[in-house]
Amino acid sequence: MNNELILESAFDKIKAYIRANNDESKPVIDFKTPADLSKVINFGIAKNGVSETEFLDLLDKYLEYSVKTGNKQFLNQLYAGFNFPAFIGEVFSVLANTSMYTYEVAPVATRIETEMIRLMNSYTGYANGDGIFLSGGSNANLIAMFSARNRILPESRKDGYDRTEKLTAFVNEHAHYSFGTAANVLGIGTKNVIKIKTDTEGRMIPSELEAAILLAIAEGKKPFFVAATCATTMQAAYDPIDAIADITEKYGIWLHADGAYGGSLILSDTHRHLMKGIERTDSFTWDPHKLMNIPLICSAILVKKAGTLQQNITDINTDYIYHDIDEIEDLGKKSIQCGRKVDAVKLWFAWKYFGVEGYRDRIDNLIDMAEYAEEIVMSQPQLMLNSKRQSFAVCFQYIPKNKQTNVNDFNLAVREALRKTGKSIVNFGYNGSDLVIRFVAANGELNKADIDRFFSNFIAEAESLENA
């Protein structure tokens, strides 16, 4: 094959794809069922390779039938949008194809990751902090719980976890499922992750947390970890960190803040009060691939005390990797991964491009767009706000005129019709027994016209189904 010709053609396709993201006439997806998709793309691997023409055709089809997450009507996940400088950073990272374990093989990337961790810690207030990029928020939450276990039971690093210790963790009842996974992986057990009741706005109730801790102690258990959530998955609610920190400090418990979704709010001068007390936490999960629109994956775990992460790792005697020739920190020594993708570089390029104030404004715009979406819901007679907006998410329902219509089924039907036509993709979930539509403002380029278009699409589809 002529690789230069393929590269030129690939760049043309990339430019066309970027332009299409901003074309309102283009659907979010050209939906196909798995069976139909198999008819237009041959997913099998043949004995001999494909021709140049076939290879270029596969590139076209991959982009044609994938979800266009850069389209402003993609409102489905906690990430969205196309970040041009971060995309360029990703391309160059892959082009260099290095790994993040040593300065020797990744000198520029090592310095960049070190600077990004320093900058991120300047927002958390971790004056002597540390951190590392890893493979997602779930992994970051695992490392936080791992670090907490090793602090309370330092001998467990080599001796293993003794179940008679009965370690117990506490999380918001709407916390991410990754905490249960972490407890499973660490041998603590999912039943020892206690879910704490929340108020009507989805925030952990501090008095309920203290009562649960006292009950665990009375039962001979050892509370060791509390996770405050910075934006729950459905309501985007922020737990009261300051009040929770009063309790964890009282009982000597590790306090983690899961900001995988909403951690980027820390960049906003106007709204960061929702994370008041973050400097009192012991660790913090932050996913720039969500509200900062960095291409997946870009996630970090930050810790308050330098040395914590390396202390987690035992017996680093691999002199075939770590030569200690240069007087500089090899980041692999504080990671449970050996080979590790270069993820900090794309964040660095984006932060360089937009600047501190630029990213602050992008986060503020997301809140503005969520507020605007809330106003539309409250102004439309057939739309009902299901719960008070907390930050980036607006949960609502369309109430059919026919009172005999099942509201849950109807809203799901509207959502599915929009998704399969590619007009708009928005997610749903349950608030109690109510199936609610969850609008998320996550694309930093959103404007009011995009929000208007979504609600116009949604209401038109709902009215069409009502009149069918």
> What are the sequence ranges of the domains in the chain?
3-68, 89-350
Name the pLDDT band for 319 (thresholds 50, 70, 90).
low
pLDDT tens-digit profile of 350-373?
999 999 999 999 999 999 999 999
Bridging pattern class, strands 130-134 and 193-196 = unpaired
**Measured between alpha carbons, how far is 320 from 415 in angstroms, rounded to an integer?**
54
Alpha-helix residue ranges (DSSP H) falling in 290-442: 308-312, 344-379, 407-421
What are the Cα distances from residue 144, in Å, to 138, 248, 257, 324, 339?
A: 10, 15, 9, 27, 20
Across 193-206, average pLDDT: 97
Contact indicator for 391, 417 with CB cutoff of 8 Å: no
**Measured between alpha carbons, how far is 169 from 412 in angstroms, rounded to an integer?**
35
pLDDT at 24: 83
Residue 326: is its pLDDT beyond 70? no
pLDDT at 23: 87
pLDDT tens-digit profile of 81-137?
999 999 999 999 999 999 999 888 999 999 999 999 999 999 999 999 999 999 999
**Measured between alpha carbons, how far is 401 from 380 in angstroms, rounded to an integer?**
13
Q: Residue-wise over 397-414: b if at least 16 C-beta within 10 A, else e?
A: bbbbeeeeeebeebbebb
Residue 318: is its pLDDT beyond 70? no
Name the pLDDT band for 162 (thresholds 50, 70, 90).
confident
**Measured between alpha carbons, how far is 131 from 304 in angstroms, rounded to an integer?**
9
What are the Cα distances from residue 107, in Å, to 100, 112, 113, 161, 320?
A: 9, 9, 10, 37, 18
Name the pLDDT band for 442 (thresholds 50, 70, 90).
very high
Across 43-49, average pLDDT: 93
**Measured between alpha carbons, how far is 245 from 253 in angstroms, rounded to an integer?**
9
- Phi, psi for residue 435 in degrees, rounded to 5: -80, 120
Q: Count CA atoms within 13 Å of residue 297 on its CB side.
A: 15
Contact indicator for 436, 396 with CB cutoff of 8 Å: yes
Q: Residue-wise over 165-193: b if at least 16 C-beta within 10 A, else e?
A: ebbbbbbbebbbebbbbbbeebebeeebb
- Pick from 269, 265, 304, 303: nearest CA to 287: 265
Compute the residue count for the chain. 468
Contact indicator for 343, 331 with CB cutoff of 8 Å: no
Cis bond upstream, residue 253 (ω within 30): no
pLDDT at 317: 62
Question: What is the topology classification, in CATH, of domain 89-350?
Answer: Aspartate Aminotransferase; domain 2 (3.40.640)
Average pLDDT in the chain: 95
Across 441-463, average pLDDT: 97
Bridging pattern class, strands 222-229 and 167-172 = parallel
**Measured between alpha carbons, how far is 305 from 250 in angstroms, rounded to an integer?**
19
Residue 181: is its pLDDT beyond 90? yes
